[in-house]
Amino acid sequence: MKTIDELLSEGVAGKRVFVRADLNVPLDGTTITDDGRIRAVLPTVKALAAAGARVIVASHLGRPKGAPDPAFSLGPAAARLGELLGADVAFAEDTVGDSAEATVTGLADGQVAVLENLRFNAGETAKDDAERAAFADKLAGLADVYVGDGFGAVHRKHASVFDLPKRLPHYAGYLIATEVGVLKKLTDDVERPYVVALGGAKVSDKLAVIDQLLGKADRLLIGGGMAYTFLKAQGHEVGISLLQEDQVPAVKEYIERAEKNGVELVLPVDVLVSTEFPDLKTKAPANPSTVAADAIPADQEGLDIGPETRKLYASKLADAATVFWNGPMGVFEHPDYAEGTKAVAQALVESPGFSVVGGGDSAAAVRTLGFDEKAFGHISTGGGASLEYLEGKTLPGLAALED
C-alpha cells in the first residue's frame, strides 16, 4: 500500500487530488455535535494543500436514498473543515454535475473543495457493478490522483471507496495508515494480557468478532444491551431487557468455548434497572435501582452495568498490556446510565497498556463524557471497519489501495 508520504515526495503541486474522507458526523439539524471525524482527516488535507495540490474532499453522510436530501447535506461539514483549516473551503452543491466541475475547475494550487454527499448519487452504493463503475468514472474525471483516508467506510464496496482507486494512481492517507497500523497491533503482534471490552446493543453485531477473539484475547468483558443475551444463555431472568433470543444458542456455545480455550469471560454481576427507557431529550431523572445480574425483575429493563461490575471491570483492565474497547456499557447518553461507560473509559485512561477505542458509539462516548482523547492510545474513526478487520475479513477499501 503506497502512502501519502510517497505521493508528496513525487510532487503534487497543481494536481487535482481526490481525498475520500469520512465526514459522516452527527448532526442536530445543521449543528455538528461531534467533529472528531473532520479533525481526523486534517493532517492529510493540510499536507496536500501545503504541497500545492488542488484538494477535492468527498464523503458520505447518513443514509440518503440515492437522491439529494437537505437533511444529509455536507454543507455544515465543509464549513467546519474550513474553520479547522483556517482557510476558505469551496463547496460543490452536487457530486459530479455542473457545480462539482465548476468548483474543481476554479481551484487554485493549495485550495480545498468539498463535494456534496456522495450518497446523493445512487451509483455510490449500487449493488450493480456497472452502475457503480459509471459513477466512479465520472468521479475519476474530476481528479488526477486518489487518496483514501475515510477509514470508517473502507468496509463498504462503494464506488468512491472500491471502484475509484482502480481508476487513478492511489495512496493511503495518514488516517488510514495509522488505523491499519493500530489494528495490526491487535491482530499480528499482540502484547499480553490482551483484554477486550465489548458493549453496544446487539450481540448479533459482535458474534463474528467474538468468534475470532476467543482464539486471541486473554480476557473478554461483556456489557451493554448484548450482555442480557449472555445472561439469558446462563439461565437468568432478564426481564424486559434488550434480548436476542435467537442468538442464545450461539452465545451458549461461545461461553463453553471460552472456558475450553482458557479465555476469561467476564459478565455483569449487577445492573441498573428501570421499568421504562429514559428520556434522552429532556434527560429527566430516571431513578434506576440496582439489582444483582441474576435477579432482574420480570417487569424491569437493564440499562447499565452496576457499581460492583464497574469495580470488577476496572480490575480486569488494570493489568492489561493491550486493550480494545468497542461499545458502551449502557445508555450513556443519559446521565443516570453513563457511569458504566465512564468507568470503562477511566480504566483505559489509567491502564499502562496500549488502549484502542474502537470507533462508533465508544468514540462518541469518550468525547461526550469529557475525556481527553490524548489519554487513550488510539481512538478509531470506524467502528464497523475496526470490527470487520478484527474478524479477519477483507475490507474492500483497503484491498483497492493495496492493488
* Active-site residue list: 37, 202, 360, 384
**Cβ neighbours of 393 (radius 10 Å):** 14
- 302 belongs to an annotated ligand binding site: yes
- 117 belongs to an annotated ligand binding site: no
- 61 belongs to an annotated ligand binding site: yes
- 382 belongs to an annotated ligand binding site: no
- Which residues lie below 8 Å from residue 112, measured CB to CB, with a gap of 6+? 45, 49, 55, 57, 81, 82, 85, 87, 89, 90
Residue for cell digits 467502528?
Answer: 383
Alpha helices in 86-238 (DSSP H): 98-105, 129-140, 174-187, 207-213, 227-233
Bridge partners (DSSP) of residue 3 are: 172
Residue 57, H or E segment: strand 54-58
- 37 belongs to an annotated ligand binding site: yes
Q: How far apart are CA 228 and CA 238, in angstroms?
A: 6
- 361 belongs to an annotated ligand binding site: yes
- 22 belongs to an annotated ligand binding site: yes
* Residue 335 grid cell: 446521565
- 156 belongs to an annotated ligand binding site: yes
- 257 belongs to an annotated ligand binding site: no
Q: How far apart are CA 248 and CA 138, in angstroms?
A: 47
Chain length of the chain: 403
- 280 belongs to an annotated ligand binding site: no
- 16 belongs to an annotated ligand binding site: no
Cβ–Cβ < 8 Å for 330, 338: yes
Q: How far apart are CA 370 and CA 372, in angstroms?
A: 7
- 39 belongs to an annotated ligand binding site: no
- 152 belongs to an annotated ligand binding site: no
- 54 belongs to an annotated ligand binding site: no
- For residue 153, with 0-12 CB atoms within 10 Å meaning exposed, 13-18 middle and 19 or more buried, which class applies? buried
| Binding annotation for substrate | 22-24, 37, 60-63, 119, 156
| Binding annotation for ATP | 206, 302, 333, 359-362
| Binding annotation | 22-24, 37, 60-63, 119, 156, 206, 302, 333, 359-362
